[in-house]
Amino acid sequence: MTEVTIYHNPRCSKSRQTLQLLQEQGYEPQVIEYMKQHFEPDAIKTLLSQLGFVSARELMRSKEDEFKALNLANENDEDKLIQAMIEHPRLIERPIVVVGDQARLGRPPEAVLELVQ
């Protein structure tokens, strides 16, 4: 069976729904609670590539208080955006599901099914 990894925040309803959907499909994904296990810069860069994102900004939750407080809407330095996500993991859009060399955001949760079917 395909190895599936989910970057999960159990406090997020979409993350819980995505995990449940994967389990209903017969997968027991490796669960990484990224709020507890912080990312390294290279891991975020890899995820950005797997997601097909051009900028770290695409992986950020722009409505979070930290986004506004850190004035990230005006930040164009990719390394600074990545560092902000490392220091404030709540800024990371969730959940992220990885299968092989591809990843999808679970928004909506069904979006991850194309990775496992």
Q: Which of 2, 3, 8, 12 is catalytic?
A: 12
CB 99 within 8 A of CB 116: yes
Strand locations in the chain (E) = 4-8, 30-33, 96-99, 102-105
- Check if 96 is active-site: no
Residue with tokens 């975020």: 44
Longest C-alpha distance within the chain, in Å? 43
Active site (catalytic) residues: 12
